Amino acid sequence: MDVLLSGASVPISTSVFTLLLDNSVAGTYVGYQHALAKESITFTELVNLARHGEIPVPLFFAPLPLVERQVAAKTAKLLAGVSKDTFSIGSRSRVQLRDIELIVKDLIRKQELLKRHDETLSRNRIIGCLSRSSVMPDDDATRLMSELGLSHESLRSCRKKENALDLFIDRLEANQVLVSRSVQNYMPQRLTHVEFSGMTIRDNKVPYIFLAGGDHGDQQEPVGRTIFTLALLTVLIARRIFAPMTWDGGSVDADQRVEYDIAGAMLMPAAEMRTLDLSSLDKVKQVSDDFKVTASAITVRALRLGLLDPTVATAHLDELRSEYFARPQNNARSPIRPENAVRKYTGRELSRRMLAVLDTSRISPGEFCRAVCLNYIRPGQINDLRKAIG
């Protein structure tokens, strides 16, 4: 591999070049593939890739053993917060660490910032509360819901699924579990080419849940799916599992994990499910609206409880997919205000606590905007964030 500068070429190790970029977000850039194909790259292009990948340029000219140690050290530090292995439920998708690396690093920085300045934080009670799991998923679900101060009745009484999602997030954040939601163009990196549902990030006091947005490929309406994803990620934290997660909400695969059944029991308790009329797909849809989940989730849960025949469940899921694809496509999105985007990605609870830190002058407005808001709002807009948080 040659680096071209002012008409001269300087050879570098292709192994070093690929190792550095394959372990960074810049490994997804077209310029990287072009350089490999041409076996050369201009110094300007190299600097550009290094900047996007947060790679010190001198490392490209270093010997391979040194670079291997540097990459290993970086990965070990990053994996202190999240496992490299993808936690997969009924899905073949896998997540590369580089696809989410900048988001992981940013959320870990936010955890450390909050712990450094907020002395009111205590050890988190949700982490590990299901480490000694019972043999009955519904018993584990009841225990976890009790720890959160969340009930089936409170979720079902919400007028809309959006309200139920907000309530679930409020109860998590009241228990020092921070929740971040994907907002394209307001995060350290874009997720347009990544198929994953979310992730959990380790911390003894303020673990983070990150909810990935977008279309997950299982043809379910977004809010109901997000509620189930949130329940699954909550179960992972309760079982001390910190990893990216992918799951297929329309799978009838019997090889589901126990965490899936616990999440299902949180939102769709077995005792209540057995009293329901699920004799048609229309009935299933009515139940899904009542339980604030998707019709696919009700179908799979009923199948796993033996309330639906596999042939009927498969037919329901096939019809739901067809209906999903037949819906009118509306790609127009209302522009999101910066303060609302920051509140959604950073999370209401971390934003609220860090505003309290700002108010006591333990950080400056500039540092607040940089560390908490990634400079998407300026000091003069901080009051807009206060209003957005409420």
Q: 212-245 pLDDT, tens per residue? A: 976 566 567 789 999 999 999 999 999 999 999 9
Question: Quick one: pLDDT at residue 337?
Answer: 94
What pLDDT was estimated at residue 90? 75
pLDDT for res 23 = 82
Rounded distance, CA 362 to CA 291, Å?
A: 44
Winning range, highest mean pLDDT, from 44-58, 122-136, 141-155, 251-265: 141-155
pLDDT one-digit tens code per residue, 311-323:
999 999 999 989 8
Kindly state the average pLDDT of the residues 7-27. Answer: 89
- Give mean pLDDT, residues 82-91: 81
Is residue 22 scored above 90 in pLDDT? Answer: no
Rounded mean pLDDT of 365-381?
93
Compute the average pLDDT of residues 115-141: 92
Alpha helices by DSSP H, 268-347: 270-273, 281-291, 295-304, 310-326, 338-346
Question: Which pair of structure tokens corresponds to residue 80?
Answer: 């202190």
* pLDDT tens digits for range 298-313: 999 999 999 999 999 9
The partner residues of 209 in beta bridges, in order of sequence, read 179, 200
Q: What is the pLDDT of residue 325?
A: 81
Mean pLDDT of the chain: 90
What are 210-221's pLDDT values in tens digits? Answer: 999 765 665 677
Mean pLDDT of 71-80: 79
Whether the Cβ atoms of residue 378 and residue 369 lie closer than 8 Å to each other: yes
| 138 contacts: CB under 8 Å, gap ≥ 6 | 265, 269, 270, 271
CA atoms within 13 A on the CB side of 296: 26
The pLDDT of residue 291 is above 70 = yes
pLDDT bucket at 333, cuts 50 / 70 / 90: low
pLDDT at 26 (0 to 100): 81
Summarize the confidence of residues 287-304 as an average pLDDT.
95
pLDDT in tens, 87-116: 888 777 788 877 888 899 899 989 999 999
Query: Tokens standing for 167?
Result: 């309530």
Q: Write down the pLDDT at residue 330.
A: 63
CA-nearest of 339, 353, 341, 340 to 178 is 353
146/154 Cα distance (integer angstroms):
12
Could you tell me the end-to-end alpha-carbon distance of the chain, in angstroms, rounded to an integer? Answer: 55
Q: Is the pLDDT score of 32 beyond 70?
A: yes
More reliable by pLDDT, 23 or 115: 115
Scan for tokens 């799991």, then name that residue.
Answer: 133
120 contact partners, CB below 8 Å, separation of at least 6 = none
pLDDT of the residue at 255: 62
Query: What is the dihedral angle through the alpha carbons of 248, 108, 97, 171, rounded to the nearest 10 degrees?
Result: 0
Q: Which residue has the higher pLDDT, 43 or 132?
A: 43
- Whether pLDDT at 198 is above 80: yes
pLDDT at 388 > cutoff 80: yes
Q: What is the arithmetic mean of pLDDT over 83-88?
A: 82
How do strand 87-89 and strand 244-247 relate by DSSP bridges? parallel
pTM metric for this prediction: 0.84
The torsion of the CA quartet 260, 95, 185, 17, rounded to 10 degrees, works out to: 170
| 381: pLDDT strictly greater than 90 | yes
Q: Residues of the chain with pLDDT > 70: what percent?
A: 96
Neighbour-count burial for 319-341, b at 16+ CB within 10 Å, e otherwise:
ebeeebeeeeeeeeeeeeebbeb
Mean pLDDT of 122-146: 92
Average pLDDT over residues 239-265: 85
Indicate the range of 223-237, 274-288, 327-341 predicted with least confidence: 327-341
Question: In which band, very low, low, confident or very high, does the pLDDT at 191 lie, cut at 50, 70 and 90?
Answer: confident
Percent share of the chain, pLDDT over 90: 71
